[in-house]
Amino acid sequence: MAEIQLRNVGKRWGSFVGVHNFDLTIADREFLVLLGPSGCGKTTTMRMIAGLEDVTEGEILVDGNVINDLEPKDRDVAMVFQSYALYPNMNVYENIRFPLKVRGIDPSTHDEKVRRASAMVELDDFLHRKPAELSGGQRQRVALARAIVREPNVFLMDEPLSNLDAKLRVSTRAQIKNLSHELAVTTIYVTHDQIEAMTLADRVVVMKQGVVQQVGSPTEIYDMPANTFVASFIGSPAMNLMDGDVSGGMFRAEHVEIPVDAPDGPMTLGFRAEDASLAEGQGQITAPIYTLELLGDATMISVRVGGALVSVKADKAYRAEIGETVSFSVPKEICHLFEAKSGARIG
């Protein structure tokens, strides 16, 4: 069991607020991803849970017990960092075994534990190599095995894939997901990569400048972003967002006229590239093509609306010239409406 509760947790350095009022219960065996741009407070939140950073406000509880003052070594958590921090002079076997030695675990159990952990990350054939003789992906797997061998109830992972190339990142990502399921641990995973967040998480926490913007399943966050920040952070490409004005049930911006159910006034309207389509003749957006990108399975057509780029996914066979006039169909059912000033969702 490892249910983690963050009760109004905050971190300040002097007057600078790194994390503000973080309030969330993470269920036993949940895979929670903290997502946000650089400096938004993800790592600080994680370090407070690990005990590597003091909590300025609030409480952290594990299975109902406050752990604010518990030493890191007394917390039942294992961390995997972006830099693997392996001991260069020890071979893989000794690196994986190290946490067992430090914790005074019965030596007669070490061999079995090390072999089981290394088998889980497919390192059986590399046990006698030194870290310098391994690839980046293999080193990252040693770091994973070193976390697994402790048999913790909680895994904390801070951008563990960021030093790997794109292909290895995808396969290691799948391995992490599978491991956390198999080991039945509670996992908190930090990333600024929205695809990692969407593919790994049971729930995602989107953060900005120390403040939680939204907590939800990947689908909830994708389909119902709470504000324009979340909308612009999730999805590839991110949601199209346009600033304009509503009057008499019509949203208007340069090149744009979309009927909406909203009161008069300034508004930000969003829709996803894959939800709209090319229109024959008159659509709700009509503008010259700014760029055309071939994605393999589709063609992405972009136009400029005000200062923003607005993209629509078309058939992969679609071809046109830059500058040609194109028309998009944007029915109101696919539109997300946000307050112009605060960016908060209104519909």
The verdict on 40 binding ligand ATP (CB under 6 A) reads: yes
Strand partners, 236: none
Q: Give whichever of 43 and 240 is closer to ligand ATP, judged by the CB atom.
A: 43
The verdict on 36 binding ligand ATP (CB under 6 A) reads: yes
Give SS3 for 171.
helix
Distance between CA atoms of residues 119 and 141, nearest Å:
10
Q: Is 340:295 a contact under the CB 8 Å cutoff?
A: no
Q: Which residue has the tokens 């030194």?
A: 130
Q: Give whichever of 10 and 41 is closer to ligand ATP, judged by the CB atom.
A: 41
Between 174 and 213, how does the x/- string for binding to ligand ATP read (CB under 6 A)? ------------------x---------------------
The verdict on 13 binding ligand ATP (CB under 6 A) reads: yes
Q: Is 285:328 a contact under the CB 8 Å cutoff?
A: yes
How deeply is 186 buried, as exposed, middle or buried, from its count of CB atoms within 10 A (0-12, 13-18, 19+)? buried
**Of 43, 187, 213, 228, the one binding ligand ATP by CB under 6 A:** 43
The verdict on 16 binding ligand ATP (CB under 6 A) reads: yes
Strand ranges, E, within the chain: 4-13, 16-26, 31-35, 57-62, 65-66, 77-80, 154-158, 186-191, 203-208, 211-216, 240-247, 250-253, 256-259, 265-271, 277-278, 285-294, 299-305, 308-314, 325-329, 336-339
Between 240 and 279, how does the x/- string for binding to ligand ATP read (CB under 6 A)? ----------------------------------------
The verdict on 44 binding ligand ATP (CB under 6 A) reads: yes
In the window 277-336, what residues touch ligand ATP (CB under 6 A)?
Answer: none
Residue 32: CB minimum distance to ligand ATP, A: 15
The verdict on 38 binding ligand ATP (CB under 6 A) reads: yes
Distance between CA atoms of residues 280 and 216, nearest Å:
37
The verdict on 152 binding ligand ATP (CB under 6 A) reads: no
Q: Which amino acid is at 234?
A: I
The verdict on 10 binding ligand ATP (CB under 6 A) reads: no
Residue 126: CB minimum distance to ligand ATP, A: 29
The verdict on 18 binding ligand ATP (CB under 6 A) reads: yes
Site for ligand ATP, rule CB under 6 A: 13, 16, 18, 36, 38-44, 192
